[in-house]
Amino acid sequence: MNRFGLSVIFSVVVLTLFGIAQQSPGMYVDQDGALSKLSPAVFSGTEASNHIAKAKVFFVFRGAHSSVQLSTTHPHFRLICGLQDASLIVFCATGPQPSDLIVVRLDEKSDHRDALTATGSMFGGHGGFDPKKTTTASLTKRDDSNWEVSPGNDLAPGEYLLTTGTQARGFDFGIQSGAR
């Protein structure tokens, strides 16, 4: 093995031993001091209800519950940007801003979760998530250029989407009953 190969192995061993190995780009949740990578929410399309007087449009996500269930009402996330991960484009393409991230409470159904995103009638309409079901997320830049993310308020048990603006892209998670 050449000198370069040995120095790479040595660097990886040192970084691993001292716990400073770089995480790959993604959104992570801190679970008891360990970072677990979140998968993007599985968006399965929109549903619309059209009544004579009013129409509604919902973003729909597969499954009655997210695969990530947390036991805390105030989760902490870490965003590690990297444009090679397509799920991060809406979060990292222009650099996150503190006002960009929101946490949306999803309505739970037997086989999916959804969020109302638009309402309208012949007299006008409204687009965006219901403000009563959203909370802003605080965003703090770390010394290592990654971001700490946490909801502005404690979250009640239920299903949530961490996203930007009115995007169907984001990361879903649940808060378990009895969470502290």
Query: How do residues 5-49 score in pLDDT, each as one tens digit?
Result: 434 344 333 333 444 446 789 899 998 889 999 988 988 888 888
Q: Give the whole-angstrom CA distance, residue 64 versus residue 47.
A: 16
Cβ proximity of 115 and 58 under 8 Å: yes
Query: How do residues 124-155 score in pLDDT, each as one tens digit?
Result: 888 889 889 999 998 888 888 888 999 999 99
Q: Give the whole-angstrom CA distance, residue 38 versus residue 171.
A: 7
Nearest to 170 by CA among 64, 30, 68, 56: 68
Collapse the DSSP code of 108 into the 3-class scheme (helix H, G, I; strand E, B; otherwise coil) and give the result.
strand
pTM for the full predicted model: 0.80
Q: Give the whole-angstrom CA distance, residue 131 versus residue 150.
A: 18
Domain locations in the chain as residue ranges: 24-175
In one-letter notation, the amino acid at residue 126 is H
